[in-house]
Structure 1
Amino acid sequence: MTAPHARLKVAVVGAGYWGPNLARNFAASTEWQLTAICDMDLARAHRVADPLGPVAAVASLKTLLDTDVDAIAIATPARTHHAIAMEALGAGKHVLVEKPLADSIGRAREMVDAASMSSLVLMTDHTYCYTPAVAKIRELIAEGRLGDLLFVDSTRINLGLVQPDVDVFWDLAPHDLSILDFILPGGLHPDSVSAFGGDPLGTGRSCLGHLMMPLPNSVMAHVQVNWLSPTKIRQLVVGGSERTLVWDDLNPQQRLSIYDRGVNLGRESPAGSRQRAVEQVSYRLGDTWSPALPEREALADMVAEFAGAIRGHRPARTDGHAGLRVLSVLEAASRSLRHAGLAEQPEDMRLVEGLL
């Protein structure tokens, strides 16, 4: 049992692309003591561990779990998340998992259930949900500053690595879906999911694609992802009846812009009439403003939230259920792709969470 004010002990499993970022932020945190880097390639584990001070490099997960570490952070391929997390939860360790939570919703649900049964924290590393910009977007929507939501349009394109085991939807879209889940009141619960993908390189998987998701209250969400674009764009547009918000993640001078611009529709129809309403279109051209945002690394806030959830015996801000909601959309997208874009209903996670 960790003393109330002692640093929590954590180990990072996986020393590939994302593991070093997690390790660096755990090592810099006042909440955590980074004790080990675990990777089957011991030399790679050493390359991450050695510059961070007295941090062990180990090749065996079992050896790691036999120590007094409080938590592990998993940064390995998605297909391995379930097995590693279940072993760690069985050993009484809290678990942080890189996105996506697992490679299927069934395996992810087993992880959520195991953590709940053992009163352990299972957290999904939905990194963008810890950026100041996304926190501000959530706040503006919750306060009604945009009015009624009308549409959400998210673009994530770049000349990226074609992954050997997943398509572009499973690689890039979890970022956008986790953001939508975080900023939308009540989370991400689309009525249906339609996915359209392209494979111009002949890789056997989609390298570019679009997701269309009708949301409750006639809101339409669209996500575009692409591994093949020579230009990099990370942009989110949230349209409301009063204002429209644009987040440009690659513009540090003005990440958020709020536009008091839009379309007004004046409808006139006799009471009780079945005649089509007469629509009078006018355009509103008002001011644009940009809220001031602090500049800090999202992963620093994420690892602090992991510690806060453990110490507070509470779910993390992006808990296992958030991971399940994202996976429900990804699996529906995969089904839609197999059926040439046919709309598919995602599993309703509100039933799982007892909200309906």
Structure 2
Amino acid sequence: MTDRLNVAVVGAGYWGPNLARNFRASTDWNLATICDLDGSRAQRVADSLGGVPTSTSLEQVLADPAIDAVAIATPARTHHPIVLAALDAGKHVMVEKPLADTREHGAEMVERARAGGLVLMADHTYCYTPAVMKIRELIADGSLGDILFIDSVRINLGLIQPDVDVFWDLAPHDLSILDFILPGGIDVPVVAAQGADPLATGKACVGYLTLPLSGGAIAHVHVNWLSPTKIRQMVIGGTRRTLVWDDLNPQQRLSVYDRGVDLELQSKETADSRAANISYRLGDTWSPALPEREALSNVAAELASAIREGRDARTSGESGLRVLSVLEAAGASLADGGAPQTIQTAIHAGGTA
């Protein structure tokens, strides 16, 4: 299948222009229209791309039989009705993070796409950066060994959002990355969340998430709007190697350390770790070469491939729903003084996410 697919970008605010630019440059797509309630805003984006049709009517866009897919870049509270309308019109859908404003809405979107045989893709952009795609590869091929721990930090002196707390604003990035790089996704039973609001804004501005992983491993996510320094870093410790991803270091985003702790069991029969000899391994450090390609160009290519191959996108609606499930359970934990809360996995009584 060589013909280009037709896509409409819905929303010309902050993220929409980035989507439009990448769809415009893609060999897989024809950017058919830019839709926004503010016609002048849509026109400015269209003019910046050398001229693209615009519309202020979502209904007209969805009624166009030539449109194969819509890419939604509107506030999270609007995702549910727009996505359902697009799916009901037979369109494939990509929607920016978070998938929806509630888990219930996200589950309905996933079910509707599944029933219609349509692709519902979450725009978890970080998952398509060359660095994160390489991390996924290194974990999958066993280069790091079994995962022991993951520490993720995303802090900055950022804008305090009026409608969401720091967890809903920043943690979707880290959670979507964990879901992408871990075999089987975020398959965790509980989450604990601690947050603070030292400025009395009415919402958590500093937060910590703790998630137990399989095999006794643990993941920890730190998000913060109040830090004067900007850090985007993830440390993944394995039984063979440890990886550090520093997103703000363009010269060496990934570093792999052949360092760690080795346990040589004295008794293989009992395999008692208390009787183990502990030694420290200090080996080489290397930095994998990464291709230079904008993440959103990979996002556009993945959406086209999923549609043409009739498969789920690598960041599917189910992936977005798993992220929402963790966020909602984290909110319950926060309200319960940090007590661990069960993460809901069932879409409804008869199915699972």
Q: TM-score range by the shorter chain?
A: over 0.9
| Alpha-carbon distance in 2 for matches of 1:139, 1:189 | 19
Per-residue CA shift, 1:183-203, capped at 9, x if unaligned? 111111113100011111211
Unaligned runs of 5+ in 2: none
Pairing of 1:104-183 with structure 2 (within 5 A) = 104-183=102-181
| Alpha-carbon distance in 2 for matches of 1:215, 1:101 | 23
> How far did residue 156 of structure 1 move?
0.7
- 1:335 aligned residue (332, 345, 352): 332
Q: Aligned to 1:193, what secondary structure does the other structure show?
A: strand
Residue in 2 aligned with 1:35? 32
Residue in 1 aligned with 2:319? 322
- 1:282 aligned residue (279, 282, 301): 279
Question: Would the aligned equivalents of 1:191 and 1:216 in 2 still touch at CA under 8 Å?
Answer: no
Please state if 1:22 is matched with 2:19. Answer: yes
Residue in 1 aligned with 2:310? 313
> How far did residue 271 of structure 1 move?
5.8
| Alpha-carbon distance in 2 for matches of 1:93, 1:176 | 29
| Cα distance change of structure 1 residues 24 and 262 upon mapping to structure 2, 3 Å threshold | same
| Alpha-carbon distance in 1 for matches of 2:129, 2:105 | 28
Unaligned runs of 5+ in 1: none
Residue 126 of structure 1 aligns with an amino acid whose one-letter code is H
TM-score (norm 1): 0.94
Question: Would the aligned equivalents of 1:208 and 1:225 in 2 still touch at CA under 8 Å?
Answer: yes
> How far did residue 282 of structure 1 move?
2.6
| Alpha-carbon distance in 1 for matches of 2:347, 2:77 | 25
> How far did residue 308 of structure 1 move?
0.9
Residue 4 of structure 2 aligns with an amino acid whose one-letter code is R
Q: Percent identity?
A: 64
Question: Would the aligned equivalents of 1:35 and 1:54 in 2 still touch at CA under 8 Å?
Answer: no
Residue in 1 aligned with 2:97? 99
- 1:63 aligned residue (57, 60, 63): 60
| Alpha-carbon distance in 2 for matches of 1:33, 1:165 | 34
Residue 134 of structure 2 aligns with an amino acid whose one-letter code is K
| Cα distance change of structure 1 residues 224 and 12 upon mapping to structure 2, 3 Å threshold | same
Q: Aligned to 1:95, what secondary structure does the other structure show?
A: strand
Residue 259 of structure 2 aligns with an amino acid whose one-letter code is R
> How far did residue 265 of structure 1 move?
3.4
| Cα distance change of structure 1 residues 47 and 285 upon mapping to structure 2, 3 Å threshold | same
Per-residue CA shift, 1:208-231, capped at 9, x if unaligned? 100000111101000011111111
Tell me the number of residue pairs that the alignment of Structure 1 and Structure 2 aligns.
352
Residue 18 of structure 1 aligns with an amino acid whose one-letter code is W
Per-residue CA shift, 1:144-186, capped at 9, x if unaligned? 1112110001111112111111111111111111111111111
| Cα distance change of structure 1 residues 15 and 110 upon mapping to structure 2, 3 Å threshold | same
> How far did residue 281 of structure 1 move?
3.2
| Alpha-carbon distance in 1 for matches of 2:349, 2:181 | 20
Q: Aligned to 2:83, what secondary structure does the other structure show?
A: helix
| Cα distance change of structure 1 residues 349 and 289 upon mapping to structure 2, 3 Å threshold | farther
Residue in 2 aligned with 1:7? 4
| Alpha-carbon distance in 1 for matches of 2:347, 2:148 | 22
Residue 68 of structure 2 aligns with an amino acid whose one-letter code is D
After superposing the two structures, state which structure 1 stretch, 112-121 or 94-103, moved more: 112-121
> How far did residue 60 of structure 1 move?
1.6
Question: Would the aligned equivalents of 2:345 and 2:352 in 1 still touch at CA under 8 Å?
Answer: no
Residue 114 of structure 1 aligns with an amino acid whose one-letter code is R
Question: Would the aligned equivalents of 2:35 and 2:42 in 1 still touch at CA under 8 Å?
Answer: yes
> How far did residue 348 of structure 1 move?
2.6
Residue in 2 aligned with 1:219? 217
Residue 79 of structure 2 aligns with an amino acid whose one-letter code is H
TM-score (norm 2): 0.95
Residue 309 of structure 1 aligns with an amino acid whose one-letter code is A
Q: Aligned to 2:342, what secondary structure does the other structure show?
A: coil
| Alpha-carbon distance in 1 for matches of 2:225, 2:258 | 33
Residue in 2 aligned with 1:229? 227
| Alpha-carbon distance in 2 for matches of 1:225, 1:191 | 21
> How far did residue 137 of structure 1 move?
0.9
Please state if 1:241 is matched with 2:239. Answer: yes
RMSD after superposition: 2.1
| Alpha-carbon distance in 2 for matches of 1:277, 1:152 | 24
| Alpha-carbon distance in 2 for matches of 1:162, 1:326 | 21
Q: Aligned to 2:341, what secondary structure does the other structure show?
A: coil
Please state if 1:201 is matched with 2:218. Answer: no
Per-residue CA shift, 1:89-108, capped at 9, x if unaligned? 11111110001111111111
Per-residue CA shift, 1:243-267, capped at 9, x if unaligned? 1000111111111111111123344
Residue 36 of structure 1 aligns with an amino acid whose one-letter code is T
Residue 67 of structure 2 aligns with an amino acid whose one-letter code is V
| Alpha-carbon distance in 2 for matches of 1:351, 1:147 | 36
Question: Would the aligned equivalents of 1:211 and 1:223 in 2 still touch at CA under 8 Å?
Answer: yes
